[in-house]
Amino acid sequence: MDVQTYMHGIGRQARTASRAMARADTATKNRALTVTAQAIERGEAALLAANAKDVAEARHKKLPDAALDRLTLTPKTIAAMADGLMQIVRLPDPIGEISGLSYRPSGIQVGQMRVPLGVVGIIYESRPNVTADAAGLCLKSGNAAILRGGSEALHSNQAIAACVREGLTAAGLPEHAVQVVETSDRAAVGELITMREFVDVIVPRGGKGLIERLLHESRIPMIQHLDGVCHVYIDDKADIDKAIRVADNAKTQRLGVCNAMETLLVARGIAHKILPPLCKIYLDKGIELRGDEAARAIVPEMNPANEQDWYTEYLAAILAVRVVDGLDQAIEHIATYGSKHTDAIVTEDLTRARRFLTEVDSSSVMVNASTRFADGYEYGLGAEIGISTDKLHARGPVGLEGLTSLKYVVFGDGHVRK
């Protein structure tokens, strides 16, 4: 069977299954999730065996250590998958909620009902736990899912998918509600992102290379995430202690995550006070600092920053530092070099805080809080399918609600339009 025929078959089955999923009530969906979680826990040995095959092949192909690390399942990560599914069970079901139902002058009653998107295509790389997470979120939100993980994780993903099928079957839901693409042919992704008749939204979870490819080739709307070039701006009306606490945490609490600060902006009026103690913290923690001239005049240990540094998402122990004249220049810098992900101001000045919130066009804007809070769990969404740096449909962390849409519902009593 050629890849197109295979993928269209999967698409058609997903489309059919999505209609049953849209009708499924909360108890049924929760039962499927619960049985899946139990199957994963009980199936630990089988999952580890399947994963061992993937890891052995990956070793044979000499994958880098970081990739091997992401690929490897352990009893702990397997327990975490099951636990994640049970957390999704405890989230409220978004489907069917009717909001704003009110009478119009014509006599009809109009409201909006929350409904699933339909079929969600998820493209990810080597982490097998995404299979369980994504399946769980799609299932709870009444969608069918087509999962296309990295070929290096195929055995693991098939083993997890078998647990999901067990859950679906136990709850009387169609087994095609969650399908794993079982070919490593890269053309399968090309089909998935262009079969508009079968797929309603694509969620890519992977590196920039993947997303840029999809941006060019996808014919289906995406919930996507590009760079996280996040800023903290320390205003000259900042409280020094808060500024140091927030700027330290934003960079060093965890490196290599999209909501970590990559560029620190400091107002000229406070730079002499804030940079020496703050940079000492960074240097003690092994962070390489790259500053503009004004910053380097204060902290000579900094390397010089060039234009490219302001655009860079290091995801590493490197921080760019720039001294700015004040709020206007900070906002301008973020507009020029930022990636509309997450940006924070530290200030005690109300008017400046309000301006920063309004004028910085990012998916999360913060006052006196660390950029590291930009996260579905921290925002109370429960699990997240990703963080969107797009503007349409969903911005910022995307949870169950991001996998839904609103349709209008109208009630009349034989009403007609005049």
Residues making contact with its own copies (CB under 8 A): 19, 22-23, 96, 102, 104, 106, 108, 110, 113, 115, 117-118, 200-201, 215-216, 219, 221, 239, 241-242, 245-246, 248-250, 253, 335, 344, 346, 357-359, 361-370, 372-374, 378-380, 390-393, 395-397, 405-417
Alpha carbon distance 143, 162 (integer Å): 18
Smallest distance from its own copies to CB 381, Å: 10
Q: Closer to its own copies at the Cβ: 1 or 416?
A: 416
Closest CB 18 distance from its own copies, rounded Å: 9
- Give 44 or 245: the residue with its C-beta nearer to its own copies: 245
Question: Residues near 69 by Cβ (< 8 Å), separated by ≥ 6?
Answer: none
Q: Bridge-partner residues for 343, per DSSP?
A: 231, 365
Q: Minimum distance from CB of 302 to its own copies (Å)?
A: 23
Backbone angles phi, psi at 288, to 5 degrees: -80, 130
190 Cβ neighbours under 8 A, 6+ residues apart: 217
* Residue 120 C-beta: closest distance to its own copies, Å: 11
Nearer to its own copies, 115 or 159 (CB): 115
Tell me the closest approach of the beta carbon of residue 413 to its own copies, in angstroms.
Answer: 6
d(CA 22, CA 233): 45
Least gap, CB of 288 to its own copies (angstroms) = 22
- Partnered with residue 103 across adjacent β-strands are 109
Q: Least distance to its own copies from the beta carbon of 178, Å?
A: 19
Look up residue 238 and give its DSSP letter.
Answer: S
Q: Which is nearer to its own copies, 16 or 183 (CB)?
A: 16
Token pair 């996040």 in the structure block, residue: 230
Alpha helices (runs of H) in 202-343, residue ranges in sequence order:
208-217, 240-252, 268-284, 293-298, 307-311, 327-337
**Residue 324, H or E segment:** strand 318-324
**Given the complex with its own copies, which of 290 and 372 has the nearer CB atom?**
372
Rounded CA-CA distance 289/264 in Å is 10
Closest to its own copies by CB, 136 vs 397, is 397
Beta bridge partners of 291: 304, 321
CB nearer to its own copies: pick between 72 and 364 = 364
Give the side-chain half-sphere CA count within 13 A for 64.
2
Given a contact cutoff of 8 angstroms between Cβ atoms, the answer to whether 409 and 98 are in contact is yes
Q: Which is nearer to its own copies, 6 or 373 (CB)?
A: 373
What is the three-class DSSP state of 264? strand
Provide the minimum distance between the beta carbon of 300 and its own copies in the complex, in angstroms, as a whole number.
28
